[in-house]
Amino acid sequence: LNIMRSLALSVHFRIPEKGMRQHEILTRATTFLLDASESRYLHLVPQKNRPLVHCAASSHVLCPWLWNNYYPADWVQMVRREHCVYSVEVIDNNLEVLAKFALSPYPILHKSLDVGLIHLKDEDAALERMKNLGVEPLSLRHRKKTLADGDSVYFEGFEIKNLEDSDGDDDYDEALAEDEAEDDVRAHSPFSADGTVISPADERDLIQTTTLLTDGMCGAPVLDEHGFVAGIVEGIVPTDHENPFVAGAAATVTSPALHTFVDQSEEMMLRKIMPEDLMKKLAQARKIIQKRGGTIPNNFFEEVINSNVGGKFDKSDKKTFVKITEELAFGKDIEMKVEDLEKLVNKFSEDITDVEWEEPNLQKEEVEKER
């Protein structure tokens, strides 16, 4: 059984008010499963409710209308998230689509870096099927371990090839023009390349590759010698760049930056559904366990919520938290729709008091792409 470390990501759209009767392709690129089992925050949620993986991808692929410097066409600016359908496919080296899985249509985007997270629908069944097909969730490198100048890495993802042209389509743009949508004959094709770090940095690395990466590789994992994720492909420096040293290099978001983004995304979701006093009690309990040299168990919530570690969890605490987490299911049984969280919490107004709300800054309407 061949191990697959990346998935083919497709975004389709339909704008009913523009007379579109069926979904058409919007963007295609690469994504991968990021193991969430070592999360700093998800253990605060009951096991049955927490997501097991995140799908990491490029923001400009998930929401191209936010990147008008990439996609200046007027029609792209008409698209919004509610028009989109997200999916991933498992594709083997023979270009055979082995399985297709739906994604929740509510991506979480970094406010400045070109990276986002999205989640599987019906996650348990999807992961079981993927496991049988050889799809492997990946883990980030240690959060303090960065790439150094000269380090060797490996890229694994997909390019977009024209099925009528075995040489592929080097001029491919991830977002199709309107007049090309109906006759599109392009598809994902497995692609890999080796690379060497030429310009390391805190949030972005530049990596020279043995083979020039294509746009379809945006969102692909950057793997170190041990198979850990050392970054995610953000884009490719133009081959005609004025500085020949970086021309054609892969621009990647670093693993420390990914760690921070994942932490912030998970914490944001928790703070939107959890009363502040209960959040503090659970955080204090975690600190006490860690100071004693203990590890955080997978059933942390189930154990701590019924204990007196770090503070008294009374019946009201338990009732409130269980009710909230079971209703929202933290992205597993219903959609992780940020806009609806406040409305959902209002349903529990009798159980929750003095919760301050701030609008999450997840998206930025105009983003200047940095190279």
The reported pLDDT for the residue numbered 125 is 94
Mean pLDDT of the 156-169 span: 73
Q: Tell me: the pLDDT tens digits for 209-230? A: 999 999 899 999 999 999 999 9
Instruction: State pLDDT tens for residues 9-23.
Output: 999 999 999 999 999
206 in helix, strand or coil? strand
DSSP string, 99-156: EEEEB-S--EE-SSSS-EEE-BSSHHHHHHHHHHHTB--B-BPPTT----TT-EEEEE
In whole angstroms, give the CA distance from residue 191 to residue 208.
16
- Per-residue pLDDT reduced to its tens digit, 216-268: 999 999 999 999 999 999 999 999 999 999 999 999 999 999 999 998 888 87
Question: What are the angstrom distances between the C-alpha of 206 and each of 45, 124, 175, 282, 314?
Answer: 37, 36, 24, 40, 52
* Confidence (pLDDT) at 184: 66
Count the neighbouring beta carbons within 10 Å of the beta carbon of residue 166.
7
Region 40-58: mean pLDDT is 80
Q: Please name which of 253, 237, 148 lies closest in space to residue 200, comparing C-alpha atoms.
A: 148
pTM for the full predicted model: 0.77
* Angle, helix 315-328 to helix 276-291, in steps of 10 degrees: 100
Please state which of the ranges 23-32, 42-51, 113-122, 359-368 shows the lowest mean pLDDT.
359-368
The answer, yes or no, to whether residue 342 has pLDDT greater than 70, is no
What is the token pair recorded at 266? 């998970």
Give the separation between CA 67 and CA 7, rounded to whole angstroms.
23
Q: How many CA atoms lie within 13 A of 130 on its CB side?
A: 24
What percent of the chain is modeled with pLDDT above 70?
67
pLDDT at 178 over 60: no
Specify the higher pLDDT residue, 290 or 33.
33
Helices (H), the chain: 59-62, 74-77, 123-133, 255-273, 276-291, 300-304, 315-328, 338-346
**Residue type for position 49:** N
pLDDT digits (tens, 9 = 90+) for 88-134: 999 999 999 999 999 998 899 998 899 999 999 989 999 999 999 99
Average pLDDT, the chain: 78
Number of H helices, E strands in the chain: 8, 13
Looking at residue 346, what is its pLDDT?
A: 41
**Res 278 pLDDT > 90:** no
